[in-house]
Structure 1
Amino acid sequence: MTIHEILRHYWGHSRFRPLQEEIVQQVLDGNDTLALLPTGGGKSICFQVPALVRPGICIVVSPLIALMKDQVENLKEKGIKAIAITSGMGKREIDIQLDNCVYGDIKFLYLSPERLLSELVKERIRHMKVNLIAIDEAHCISQWGYDFRPPYLRITALRELHPTVPVLALTATATENVVKDIQEKLGFKKPNVLRKSFERKNVAYVIFNLEDKFRKLFSIAENIQGTGIVYVRNRRETQEVARVLGLNGFSSDFYHAGLDHLARSAKQEAWKKGKVRIMVATNAFGMGIDKPDVRFVVHLDIPESVEAYFQEAGRAGRDEQRAYAVLLYDTSDVAQLRRKLELSFPSVDEIRKIYHQLGNFFQVAYGAGEGQSLEFDLPEFCSRFKLDVIKTLHALKFLEKDGYISLSESVFLPSRVKVMVTSEDLYRFQVEHSAFDTFIKLILRSYGGMFEQYTAIREYDIAKRMEQPYQVVKDMLTQLKTMEIIDYLPQSDKPYLQFVRPRFDNKDLYIDRRYIGDRKAIVTRQVEAVIAYAGSSECRSQFLLSYFNEASPPKCGICDICLEEKRRATAVNLPEQIENEVVQLLSLDHLSLDKLITSISLGSEKERIAVVRNLLDSGRIKTDGTRYYV
């Protein structure tokens, strides 16, 4: 099929969005390409369409496990075979999935960059017929980027395994430094950047510096119809702000990464379907959520960078209808942001101490632990050792950069089961262990493919069909695993921490001081840039587009700065305009003062009377005491 036939067949679109077709053609021509598309610009189609044109598999690297899982599900619904390998999956499960990519007809393999650490993964990729390497959120590979992730540097291993396969890097936020850095880090054969302007003509950017944020938030929710997102700083605030909105009559809910998978999914669906109007959330909300009719996005605090703000605000108005991106802040927010900046760069001694405490937390001996992937509860870890959460999280990132650990985001994995014996051996087991016979038959009838691969199951559904308690089902599955009849992987919903290297003694731990200093300088510039945005008197859209190196961006005409300029210009010319209208009215008829004032269309009553007095004083109009005339 041609690219247009594929677009029509799988997505139901008759034509590509602006720039999509050019990007697809560059990829099909075998060119390494960096595509800059604004949030909601349809980045996934740019790699999915060319990958479907050519035989072979497309490898997609993304840092966002939730987004990977969404895209895999969407592809499967279209009848396209795709899988994602994420943290929390067992070695045997990964082995089977990779085999399907080498020998089967899988079209898309989604990986987190951390997975490229594994020799097993790299060796299997070497034997795959790869037609494209797609890098989503490509700004993460650049130290100059706002969301630099050291594991992204390992993507170069893919190029070494398949040097002739084109690379498509995609991002919605990149300054000129980042654009150059992405191409260098990914080893582009020649520079090749396709960019669509980040200008959002339908989005009005508005900033208020005020103390009573709730009052302004209520006003926004009352005066702007439709759904909205309110971004706040932390999990506690999501609940508090949603509660206050609810008490004041606004349909609202809260969302953050600490909620379990079922709760997050339910809240997300309720908001997408319009059952909840306003979602109050941390920045964990929004990625991969394609809701085009968001009418307003409000930030109740200054975000950490212009890039982060632009991406989050960009979730408003994807349907090209008027929408509002509003930032509410006060002077204390600025001080808090700068304090957070300092906490984000712990000292080398503090990093060493946190590494030592990690070993104690997981009871990993010196020289042991290499390759272990362990569920990691950050709040519990910080509570046990009385650590600051922000400082600890960033210490872990520096340890990750230096190659000691790998830290994944929280990810929900359903329970999975694979039968580990042949069908003949399973039958024999059922005959010899009649207590398990009905249970095994029920599972095999309910879920297919268990002999070939790990299959997702729901213990609650099995319990309901068996008319047994949930725990009984869990116990029976666990017993079958102990007896090596099945492999049973219970569901999980936590981040994972992996010891990439054996545990070091603190005195042997090398921490790159220079890198920490460089990162602090970069992040400081980003923080100061977003503070400058909040306090700027320049057109909001102009400021943002200039930040992303767009040449001579136009004024938007709809932000608070542009509207204030229009108001001031109107105010300056208003007396002259009222004068012209008064003279025109009186040239047609002699009018009483009341009739004259009410006939004037411009200005307030006070402004109209002031103009009439000035005209009388200058002799341009006259009065006989009752009527006015020229």
Structure 2
Amino acid sequence: MGPKNREPDKASHMDTAQNPLDASQALTSLLKTHWGFDALRPHQVKPIHDLSLGKHVLALMPTGAGKSMCFQLPALARGGLCIVITPLVALMQDQCDQLRSRGIRAEAWVGGNADRVLDNVRFGRTQFLYMAPERIRHPLFLARHGFWDVRTIVVDEAHCISQWGHDFRRDFQLIGELESHFPKAVWGAFTATATQDVLRDIQAQMPVDPVIHRMSMRRPNLVFDVCTHGDRDVTILRDMNTQTGKGLLYVQTRHEAEQWEARMTEMGIPGAAYHAGLSPQTKEKHHQQWREGRLHVLACTSAFGMGIDQPDVRWVFHAGPPANLEAYTQEAGRAGRDGQEAHCVLYVGPDDIHNHEVQIERQFPSDDVVRACYQDLCNKAQIAIGAQPEGLTPCPPHANRPALNLLAQAGLIALREPSLSQKRDPEGELQWLSPTTSTLPPLQAAVHAWAARHARDPMSLRPGWLAKTIATTGDERAVAECLAQLDAMGLVEWKEKPTDLRIEWLEPRRDARHVVVDRSRRKVAEQNLEAMSNYVHGLECRPKSIDFHFSGQGGKACGQCDTCTADRKALRRALQTRLASGPVSGVDLLDAMRPGHRILARGILKHWLKAGALEANSTLLKWVGTPPSSGRENT
């Protein structure tokens, strides 16, 4: 007799036809038992009740609104297994850890843990299975899903489903296959960033007639500013020094995050970088130090955010605008999750929007470039027109990556990346070159000494293997950095072997002249950037602009953002009061202003200088006359 399969869950769970009053009591009991809360937040009640009673749900909820609770509680109440499709490993692991701490059985299918996790799902009464969308076609999933009692399917970060979403991922469009695997399951799709077009696209890919719950993106405790005054990065550094509590500085690239760590160190600001290129140990170390208050600020890319719930973030700065309001709203929303006042400041330099326009040009190359790339792939793999290789073929190292992405989005090819272990611990060739007369740091000294003994001739190895061999406390990434440093000093020669991208051919090869790719996503990117530019340069209430972008309805002005509080008379009085006390540095005078008001204050000062009421002496400003009582100041 074979192994026993998972039987339907006999523990108490809600019937989809249950009386709403009974359902409410059951949910309240579970909420108290596992989360320790006596009541739900008002905006959580309807989506939780609808999902628990077997209605498909599509919910747009701002960051910090308790989105996870809105599917975890009803899925627990429904019993059986809940499959959660989500894009980030960190998000899966974090939520699984939280659920386990509450006595709920949860598994995350990540890396090479498939056998253990899927055995627990089949035999161990697992209640939540977190997995990435590409797992839907994994052979083990296809072989085992028929044994599972799946009652709830959740798509988290559901904007990734939509081709119009700012973070579209093609693998997310596989989720429709789950409906045929589990036709009786109820569905919930949740996102914090979706426009009306994105919501309609998500709705079209869900089972029929989901109940839509749409919350305002506005959070009253967040105070928004846009600062276009002065040197962007210098201004940010000065403003950092005046902040209290934990903060985040969002940047666009890993290199910028490293640059900001160096700047903060030089200025004596306790801060560190956080991005996807750091080792897991380093990321966890920086995150822990920041949580505990030993670091004042993390300079981070978008890698920091989803799945990380720190309630007491008092400020979020952006060094330049993201490419769209969706990303900005989600990142700024990391602030003030405890409900206390928090500040979100977007610092914009003169070239920031133009740089995004250039990036769009690069991201969507011309048809001629795309066709040339396709022809190059075919030539490299020696594929005749009409033929379709069965296996993977090599990708030329010089191939245009944006063109490859467009070919993949068109369904002509699929890009198969190297495994995570290959990326993290790439193989290379090492040869010892010369001794050194200087004292090296301990890790460099150990690696150099090992190479002198064992690598007089070129040898292939992986940094992870070398780390274990010399018994260092450093991981493979630290040893790889060390090898690169020794190579730069001329003490060893270290050449990393490329981890090649491979191509899967999804259809027979075409004549390159007939290759056509979809250009609609370029239009979406341009529209998103236009919305971001309008937010930066607009004079309307900031939260009202965000609300209008997502819902088409702006609502009332917040009364606290920089545009709502831009009172010229009050600014004039504040400037006059400070100048009346004696000569003052123009930089210090403007730095004392609210970030979003500095450009307006600068216009007032320029007007007074032109009128002869102020005199600029070196770096100081001082009164020399009576300020004009009125006038149109130019910024």
Q: Same fold (TM over 0.5)?
A: yes
8 Å Cα contact 2:275/2:304 also seen in 1: yes
| Corresponding position of 1:285 | 304
Whether 2:134 is the aligned partner of 1:114: answer yes
State the one-letter code of the partner of 2:566. E
Query: In the alignment, what sits opposite 1:392?
Result: 401
After TM superposition, give the deviation of residue 405 of structure 1 in Å. 2.1
User: For each residue in 1:512-567, what CA deviation from the matched residue of structure 2 results, as whole angstroms up to 9, or x when unmatched?
Assistant: 52x2x1111111101111011111111111111111115341111111111113x4
Offset at residue 371 of structure 1 (A): 8.3
* Alpha-carbon spacing, 1:509–1:4, altered in 2? closer, same or farther (3 Å): farther
**Residue 529 in 1 paired to residue 531 in 2?**
yes
Matched with 1:156 is 176
Structure 2 distance, partners of 1:163, 1:293, is: 42
Structure 2 counterpart of 1:527, which letter?
Answer: L
AA partner of residue 254 (structure 1): A
CA distance in 1, matches of 2:625, 2:252: 48
- CA deviation digits over 1:569-595, x for unaligned, max 9? 7869x99xxxxxxxxxxxxxxxxxxxx
1:396: Cα distance to partner? 2.9
Task: Kindly report which structure 2 residues correspond to 1:18-97, keeping only aligned pairs within 5 A, or say none.
Answer: 18-86=42-110, 88-89=111-112, 94-95=114-115, 97=117
Sort the Cα spacing of 1:235 and 1:132 in 2 relative to 1 into closer, same or farther, 3 A. same
Task: Give distance in 2, aligned partners of 1:68 and 1:397.
Answer: 29
Q: Given residue 547 of structure 1, which amino acid in structure 2 is its aligned partner?
A: H
1:132 matched residue in structure 2: 152
Distance verdict in 2 for CA 1:275–1:408, change over 3 Å:
farther
- What is the CA-CA distance between 1:306 and the residue it aligns to? 0.7
Deviations 1:142-177 (A, max 9, x none): 122211212111111011222221110000011122
User: Superposed, which structure 2 residues align to 1:131-530 within 5 Å?
Assistant: 131-187=151-207, 189-348=208-367, 350-351=369-370, 370=391, 385-386=397-398, 392=401, 395-396=404-405, 398-399=407-408, 402=411, 404-405=413-414, 469=471, 501=505, 505=509, 507=511, 512-513=516-517, 515=518, 517-530=519-532
Aligned-pair identity in percent equals 33
Q: Per-residue deviation at 1:96?
A: 5.1
Structure-1 separation of matches of 2:525 and 2:551: 18
Alignment check: 8 A CA contact 2:246 2:296 kept: yes
1:508 Cα deviation after fit: 7.7
**Aligned AA for 2:108?**
A
Q: Which runs of 5+ in 1 are unaligned?
A: 375-380, 416-458, 475-493, 576-604, 613-630
Q: CA 1:355–1:267 in structure 2 vs 1: closer, same or farther (change >3 Å)?
A: farther
Match in the other structure for 1:601: none
Cα drift, residue 97 of structure 1: 3.2
In 1, the alpha carbon distance for the partners of 2:570 and 2:418 equals 51
Show structure 2 runs of 5+ residues with no match: 1-11, 13-25, 425-463, 477-497, 577-621, 630-635
CA contact (8 A) 1:65 1:411 kept: no
Scaled by the length of structure 2, what TM-score is found?
A: 0.69
Question: Given the two structures, how large is their TM-score scaled by the length of structure 1?
Answer: 0.70
* Equivalent residue number for residue 447 of structure 2: none
Are the counterparts in 1 of residues 412 and 506 from structure 2 also a CA contact under 8 Å?
Answer: no
Question: CA contact under 8 A between 1:404 and 1:499: conserved in structure 2?
Answer: yes
In the other structure, the counterpart of 1:545 is 547
d(CA) in 2 for partners of 1:210, 1:363: 56
Alpha-carbon distance in 2 for matches of 1:204, 1:166: 38
Matching residue's letter, 1:558: Q
1:564 corresponding residue in structure 2: 566
Q: Which whole-Å CA distance do the structure 1 matches of 2:418 and 2:243 have between them?
A: 34
Question: Counterparts of 1:547 and 1:176 in 2: how far apart (Å)?
Answer: 9
**DSSP-derived class of the 2:42 partner:** coil
Paired letter, 1:15 = A
Contact 2:418 2:501 in 1 (8 A): no
Displacement, 1:45? 1.4
- For residues 373-409 of structure 1, give each alpha carbon's deviation from its aligned partner in whole angstroms, at most 9, with x where no partner exists: x9xxxxxx9xx8346xxx6157336515616325679
CA shift, 1:344, in A, is 1.0
Query: For residues 296 and 164 of structure 1, what CA distance do their matches in structure 2 show?
Result: 44
What is aligned with 1:3?
27
Q: Deviations over 1:272-310 (max 9, x none)?
A: 221111101111112211111111111111211011111
Given the superposition, is the C-alpha separation of residues 508 and 351 from structure 1 closer, same or farther in structure 2, using an over 3 Å criterion? closer
Measured in 2, the distance between the counterparts of 1:405 and 1:103 equals 35
Which one-letter code corresponds to 2:397 in the other structure?
F
Deviation, 1:314, is: 0.7
CA displacement at 1:201 relative to structure 2: 0.9
User: Does the CA contact (< 8 Å) of 1:228 and 1:297 recur in 2?
Assistant: yes
- Mapped partners of 2:247, 2:262: distance in 1: 16
Deviations 1:403-428 (Å, cap 9, x if unpaired)? 63256799689x9xxxxxxxxxxxxx
CA distance in 2, matches of 1:272, 1:139: 29
Whole-angstrom CA distance in 1 between matches of 2:472 and 2:390: 34
The SS at the match of 2:299 is: strand
Paired positions, count: 495
**Greater CA deviation, 124-133 or 298-307?**
124-133
Change (3 A) 1:552 1:470: closer
> Which residue identity is paired with 1:321?
Q
**What is residue 120 of structure 2 aligned with on the other side?**
100
Larger Cα Rg: Structure 1 or Structure 2?
1
Q: Give runs of aligned pairs for residues 599-614 of structure 1, distance below 5 A.
A: none
Cα deviation 1:408-460 (Å, max 9, x = unaligned): 799689x9xxxxxxxxxxxxxxxxxxxxxxxxxxxxxxxxxxxxxxxxxxx99
Native 8 Å contact 2:160 2:172 kept in 1: yes
Q: Distance in 2 between matches of 1:610 and 1:218?
A: 32
2:39 maps to 15
Structure 2 contact 414–506 (Cα < 8 Å) conserved: no
